[in-house]
Amino acid sequence: TTKEEKKEGKRQKAKETDKGPIIICVDTSGSMHGTPEQIAKVLCFAILKVALKDKRKCYLISFSTHIQTLELSDLPTSLDKLIAFLQRSFHGGTDATPAIKEAVKMLNTDNYNKSDVLLISDFIMPAFGENLQLEIEQAKANETQFHSLTISTNANKNVLNNFDNNWLYNPNNKNGLINLVKDLKNMI
C-alpha cells in the first residue's frame, strides 16, 4: 500500500509540473454587457489567480471585434494592470477570430508553447473560417487544449465544436456556479 501511495504521489506531482501556460480570451462585446460580462471577468480573475499561484504564465485577451492583450507572469506586480484591463469593455459586435488568431500566434512562441486556451463568451458569434479551424487542429496536435466556457444558452454549436472541453454556466441555475467551479478545477 505504501509503494502504491508513493507511485500515485509521483504521478500527481508529474501531472502538476506538466501544466503549461494558459491563454484566456474574454468576450467583452455588446451581447455580454452586464451580468454575463461581470461573471466572465470574475471567473477570469479567479482562474488567473490559481494559475499564477501554480506559477503558470498567463496571457489575457479581451475581444469584441478588436482585441486587447495583457501578459501576466507575476500577479502582485501586475495587479493594477490586470484590474484596469478587466474594467475595459468594447461593447461592439462579436468576432472571436482575432482573439483565437492571437492565441495561436502566442502558441508559436517559446513562452506559450503547449498552453491551455480558454475562451469565455456567450458564443453568439459567427463560426470560425476553415483556415482558423485548421490552425486550431494543428495546435491541438502540438498538445494544446482548447476549452470553452459558455455564459449563455444560445451558443453557436458550430463554434463550440472546435473545443476539446465545453463548460456551460447558466446564470438561471442556482447551482450553476458551484458545478462550473468543480469542472474548471480539472483544467486549472
Amino acid 164: pLDDT: 95
Determine phi and psi for 119, rounding to 5 degrees. Answer: -110, 120
Higher pLDDT, 187 or 64: 64
Q: What percent of the chain has pLDDT over 90?
A: 44
3-state secondary structure of 88: coil
pTM: 0.81
- Angstrom distance (rounded) from CA 160 to CA 165: 9
Amino acid 82: pLDDT: 81
Q: What confidence tens digit (pLDDT) does each residue in 97-131 have?
A: 999 999 999 999 999 998 999 999 999 999 999 99
DSSP string spanning 107-136?
Answer: HTSTTTTT-EEEEEE---SPPPPHHHHHHH
Burial state string for 94-103 with b = 16 or more CB within 10 A and e = fewer than 16: bbbbebbbbb
Determine phi and psi for 9, rounding to 5 degrees. Answer: -60, -40
pLDDT of 3 strictly over 70 = no
- Residue with grid cell 458550430, as numbered in its chain: 158
- The mean predicted confidence, pLDDT, of the chain is 83
Q: What confidence tens digit (pLDDT) does each residue in 32-86 have?
A: 988 888 888 888 888 888 887 888 889 999 999 899 999 987 666 777 888 888 7
Dihedral (CA of 60, 138, 164, 114) sign: negative
- Angstrom distance (rounded) from CA 31 to CA 7: 49
Helix-then-strand count for the chain, H and E:
7, 6
**Residues whose CB is less than 8 angstroms from the CB of residue 112 and which lie 6 or more positions away in sequence, other chains included:** 21, 23, 57, 59, 106
